[in-house]
Amino acid sequence: EIQFPSTGNHFSSARIRYYHVRTTMSHWLVWVLVAGTAALQDRPLPQWFDEAKIGLFMHWGLYSVPAYGNEWYWHNLCSCSSHKGNAGCPTAATAEYSNAMAESVCQFHDRVYGPNFSYSDFAPMFKAELFDAKHWADVFVKSGARYVVPTAKHHDGFCLWGSNVSWNWNAVDTGPGRDLIQMIADTVHNYTNLTFAVYFSTFDWFHPLYLKDKANKGKTQYYVNEVMWPQFKDLVTRFHPSFIRMDGSWEMTTDYWKAGDLLNWLYTESPVKDTVVVTDSWGSDNCIHKETPECSCKYGDSWTCGDHFTPGKVPTHRHKWEHDTTITKSSWGYDRRERASDYKTLDEILRELIPTIAFGGNFLINIGPTHDGRIVPEFEYRLVQMGDWLGVNGEAIYGSNPWMKNQSQSSDIFYTSNQQVVYAIFIGWPEDNTITLTAPVPGNSAQIHMLGYPNLIKWSKASAGTGIVVQLPQLSISGMPCESAWTLKLEDFS
């Protein structure tokens, strides 16, 4: 701290820099984030996040009641001209995202619920009467995930905890009549060794104060001051999430969201200031939702850079990033229309998970619980399959680093490292039981194991060029260590 002689007040150096820059630059946040002691760019990444590698995402809310299309049900409904001003759609609702899904949602809604049935009418139907927090925790653990990320509030503004600035639009005041985030947090903290996290949407599509600020082009901040800030601080103070997956900021600037002030509080005063990891959705001027490389992945302890992002290689910037994906192929929330073919197979999931870890990212996989609080068997089965695979191959995943050799998304062999050991993870068992690894160079004491298999694996130097040829054992299906993707553990290789 530095003492100002003229005032006798004490400020952190981050705040000194903030006040100085705010009076001289319109985009003071950029300076604060880059130069302040609480800076996003300079703050070391808490070690737990990079070591955890695997997270479990859950989209659960009022949209789980109709369970049709996706979690943008209300916005899709209000994007149809026939629903402006009715069915809970304010006349100021925007239609810039109108698409074929919106038309399908409107037709479904009118047919099943009627044109005058409001989105808010779903709230009493969202009862979560079959929600069993301990069973959920059991599934979390079996999945192999190391952190759990429920949606505390999505873009419809409905809170899964008892927010005191979201009266009658939260899970305590209506619907379940219970604080669902509290129940999940308590179960994660008390019955597992997993890390509790949350997803939080900064904006509410149709909140009157947000629409007022939007109409004023962000020159007023009624919504930020009276809703978003209190909600964010309440969420952090009450539930101590160590990871916050931000979203929903792209319509307004970082200045509007007061992101610098909020992050300064998070990093210097909040109860999770030493452990928290936050993602990179902090305003339209951060360009997170634009499809240009120079306009994304700018701020945050971990970059998400938009849904399903992957760099396709080990990034040169070495900044932590995360790949989020769904078990289903269409929606983040539960969709009752989904068929067996709409769920990714274990092999498809691993083809996303393995390169993500090999390229230095974290893997965040999403499920959509039902409105009555169930994790449907299709989701549970895939999560348990993933957990079984991690149970065999986790040594090459958790706490690992990219092995700095050329790797690309098109490969079927991916490398990680952990201390002095190199791991080669290959997708697809070769018909001739041999696999050529061109990158590793053996030392004098080189040996190879396959994770989950008890014996040493035979290998020889490649006859032409560099690398080695590995002779895989002939195994029956029941004798395989796992059913898809296998890991070779290479000791004394460089």
Instruction: Report the phi/psi class of residue 492: left, alpha or beta, with left for phi > 0 and alpha for psi in -120 to 50.
Output: left
pLDDT computed for residue 81 by the predictor: 75
Measure the CA–CA gap between 193 and 57, rounded to whole angstroms: 17
Q: Are strands 147-153 and 198-201 parallel, antiparallel or unpaired?
A: parallel
pLDDT computed for residue 100 by the predictor: 79
Residues linked to residue 417 through DSSP beta bridges, in sequence order: 401, 422
Which of 3, 21, 47, 44 lies closest to 260 in space, CA to CA? 21
Note the pTM of the prediction, 2 decimals. 0.88
pLDDT computed for residue 87 by the predictor: 60
Cα dihedral 149/151/155/161 (nearest 10): -140
Task: Give the list of residues 6+ apart from residue 64 with CB closer than 8 angstroms, or none.
Answer: 126, 333, 334, 368, 369, 370, 371
pLDDT computed for residue 419 by the predictor: 84
Query: One-letter amino acid identity for 83?
Result: H
pLDDT computed for residue 79 by the predictor: 85
Q: What is the mean pLDDT of each run of 10 residues along the chain (494 residues)?
A: 32 33 30 39 83 97 96 89 72 58 90 92 97 97 98 97 95 97 97 97 94 94 97 97 90 88 92 91 59 49 65 68 89 93 96 94 96 97 98 97 73 90 95 92 94 96 86 92 96 92
pLDDT computed for residue 315 by the predictor: 66
pLDDT computed for residue 32 by the predictor: 37
pLDDT computed for residue 55 by the predictor: 97
